[in-house]
């Protein structure tokens, strides 16, 4: 019962932020004209555990913050930051307190070519403590077995219903990252998300499935 209440609280907290965001419009949107071409020539090369900023590709869109992780044969693994302050899924981790980069999207990670990765600004580095937490969580994401008990409120609740509003969030964030990084997302946790999208017999949203 306590675990269920904790999951409901996490979802309520995330949804309240999303509703407020939709009513007020997201802060930090950048208008970039044709005469304002970004210059990355003075930026350091990408390296592991950097937080970098990629410009938006269309005026009025948000830029993208992400963590550069491991390199793989001319590619870098990039984990985007969510636009929100609270994690929406177990595959999201609140790793920092300072806006605008707080919650990592492990489910939305990309393999990005070196040249595309370098077309960004370095803004910060993860601390040693943050790297330790991140690596432990990332191993669980890759195995598809993120334990909420291991991270408490720093990860989000599972998706358990096809009408969960987070499905729209997932689609929107995939599109946002596609437009900026231009690479297909990873598929960690795909089975659980697919199952959550399947209709459940005699199930009501917000009520625990008796079969689980």
Give me the domain span that covers residue 11.
2-24+42-197
**Is 185 part of any domain?**
yes
DSSP string, 133-185: HHHHHHHHHHHT---HHHHGGGB-PPP--TT-THHHHHHHHHHHHHHHH-SPB
Could you tell me if residue 76 is inside a domain?
yes
Q: d(Cα 170, Cα 19) in Å, to the nearest integer?
A: 16
**Token duo for residue 115:** 């040249």
191 found inside a domain? yes
CATH of the domain at 102: 2.30.30.110
Q: Quick check: is 181 in a domain? A: yes
What is the pLDDT tens value at each position of the chain, 212 positions in all?
A: 455 546 654 555 545 555 555 555 554 443 444 446 788 989 999 999 999 999 888 766 788 999 999 888 899 999 999 999 999 999 999 999 888 899 999 999 999 999 999 999 999 999 999 999 999 999 999 998 887 778 888 999 888 888 888 999 999 999 999 999 985 555 555 544 544 545 444 444 444 444 44
Residue 109's Cβ-count burial label (10 Å; 0-12, 13-18, 19+) is: buried
Within a domain: 34: no
Q: Is residue 31 part of a domain?
A: no
Q: For residue 83, is it within any domain?
A: yes
Alpha carbon distance 88, 10 (integer Å): 8
């Amino acid at each position: 019962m306590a675990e269920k209440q904790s999951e409901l609280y996490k979802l309520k907290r995330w949804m309240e932020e999303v509703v407020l965001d939709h009513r007020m419009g997201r802060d930090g949107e950048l208008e970039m004209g044709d005469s304002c071409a970004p210059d990355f020539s003075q930026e350091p090369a990408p390296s592991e555990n950097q937080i970098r900023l990629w410009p938006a590709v269309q005026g009025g869109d948000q830029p993208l913050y992400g963590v550069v992780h491991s390199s793989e044969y001319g590619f870098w693994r990039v984990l985007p930051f969510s636009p929100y302050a609270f994690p929406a899924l177990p595959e999201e981790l609140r790793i920092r307190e300072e806006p605008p980069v707080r919650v990592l999207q492990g489910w939305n990670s990309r393999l990005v070519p070196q040249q595309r990765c370098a077309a960004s600004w370095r803004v910060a580095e993860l601390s040693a403590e943050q790297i330790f937490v991140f690596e432990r969580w990332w191993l669980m994401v890759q195995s598809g077995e993120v334990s909420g008990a291991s991270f408490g409120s720093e990860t989000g609740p599972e998706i358990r219903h096809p009408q969960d509003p987070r499905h729209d969030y997932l689609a929107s964030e995939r599109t946002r990252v596609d437009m900026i990084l231009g690479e297909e997302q990873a598929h960690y946790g795909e089975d659980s998300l697919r199952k959550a999208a399947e209709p459940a017999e005699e199930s009501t949203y917000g009520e625990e499935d008796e079969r689980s």
